[in-house]
Amino acid sequence: MSMTFSSNGETVVVGDKSGDVLAYSLNNPEEKGSLLLGHLSMILDLTFSPDNNFVITCDRDEKIRVSHYPNAYNIESFCLGHTEFVSCLCLLPDHDQVLVSGSGDGTLRLWNYQSGDQHQVIDCSEAIGRLNDKQSTHTEPGKATAIVHFIRATKIGGAIYLAVALDGLCTILILTISASLRCECKQIIETVAPITDLQFDSTGKLWVVLMDRIRPLCVYGLDDGGKFACCESSCTAVDKEILASHLVQDLKFLTDLMTTKSRYSLLWKVKVDNVSDYIRRKQDRLNTGKQNQHIPGATPIVPSNESVSDCTTDAGKAHTDCESMNVALEKCNASIECEPEMKRLKT
């Protein structure tokens, strides 16, 4: 289930696994939710545009839909290009029409969401493979090694930074976006455990929640070299203690997170090609038939004299039976024709 709040804070919108998106009023919490829009597949993420004029949704079927709000039956555009499920969405600060999406195909894509035009594609799998050889603990054969799990954006000074968490990897990608909307990977942060969530605060620090009971929280900030480094010492001891206590008080929950399979394991589509299998089996049958007809050294089957004699006798017997039947039919017809004359002679 996915959830987001409207920009004015008056509405919460929820997307469910059946593809429905429901809107609930925060001013009247007792009111039932109203159906806003629907997809034909599972909703994986949604967000509002900064001006609250559009609601943007993505689903398992590789689609990103941009709908007018609140009249969501009026579709503005579709952003199409991902080849697997679209897992997350993020809007860029100070760029009202630019959307960043992540997917199970291992890519980030930048869009003008109102027109549906794609600006750039960043292959996270390639970036991870280029900078280290770590593989996802949830990687399946033939699937992308880097499933985009979370995308967070912030503006620090005049630069826009993206923090990207990858499913099952102890890795955070840090990217920068230029004024010309070109995205470039600047840094990879290695963590001690897979990432549960991450978020930038108002000062530009990156808070990361990890699947680790001993050290569930890490904080990163920009250093003098323009890279994110661990800065937990800058956090007050009280803040850190409060957050850590909330994170570790339910140890069973964290243990389940560490042992549960990826949330995306059921989203891969299984492609079945019945036609190719049928053509292959049909060709095998044809080849087998041809081989049986042309077996080298095989003796042709010739009927014996006894079988020929038996067939001739049976044919003669059948012919005799047919002649006897014809004679009987002629006698019957003759008797029918003479019946009126016999009656006349009797009278």
Each domain of the chain, given as residue ranges in start order, spans 2-259
Q: What is the pLDDT of residue 232?
A: 65
Q: Which CATH architecture has domain 2-259?
A: 7 Propeller (2.130)
Encode 48-62: b = buried (16+ Cβ within 10 Å), e = exposed.
bbeeeebbbbbbbeb
Question: Per residue of the chain (347 residues), what is the pLDDT tens digit?
Answer: 889 999 888 999 999 989 999 999 999 988 999 999 999 999 999 999 999 999 999 999 999 999 999 999 999 999 999 999 999 999 999 888 999 999 999 999 999 999 999 999 999 877 666 555 544 444 454 455 689 999 999 999 889 999 999 988 889 999 999 988 899 888 999 998 888 899 999 999 999 988 877 778 889 999 988 899 988 655 555 455 656 665 555 545 555 555 556 778 888 887 777 788 888 888 888 888 767 666 555 555 544 555 445 544 555 555 555 566 666 666 655 555 555 555 555 55
Q: What is the pLDDT of residue 252?
A: 53
Q: What is the pLDDT of residue 62?
A: 94
Q: Left if phi > 0, otherwise alpha if psi is -120 to 50, otherwise beta: which for 247?
A: alpha
Q: In Å, how far are 43, 90, 204, 331 from 113, measured between CA atoms?
A: 18, 11, 26, 97
User: Could you give the CA distance from residue 293 to residue 93 in angstroms, rounded to a whole number?
Assistant: 75
How crowded is residue 141: how many other Cβ atoms within 10 Å of its Cβ?
A: 4
How crowded is residue 88: how many other Cβ atoms within 10 Å of its Cβ?
A: 22
Contact 234, 243 (CB under 8 A): no
Q: Which residues contact 267 (CB under 8 A, 6 or more apart)?
A: 42, 44, 60, 84, 85, 104
Q: What is the pLDDT of residue 137?
A: 42
Strand partners, 219: 207
Q: What is the pLDDT of residue 338?
A: 54
| Three-class DSSP category at 314 | helix
Bond before 300 cis per omega within 30 degrees: no
User: Could you give the CA distance from residue 91 to residue 111 in angstroms, rounded to a whole number?
Assistant: 10
CB under 8 A, 24+ apart: contacts of 20-28 = 21/46, 21/55, 21/57, 21/72, 23/70
pLDDT, one tens digit per residue, over 247-275 is 555 545 555 555 556 778 888 887 777 78
Q: Tell me the DSSP string of 9-42.
A: SSEEEEE-TTSEEEEEESSSTTSPPEEEEE-SS-
Q: What is the pLDDT of residue 23?
A: 95
Contact 102, 149 (CB under 8 A): yes
How crowded is residue 33: how many other Cβ atoms within 10 Å of its Cβ?
A: 15
- The token duo for 24 is 């609930």
Whole-structure pTM value? 0.72
Matching residue, tokens 């059948």:
318
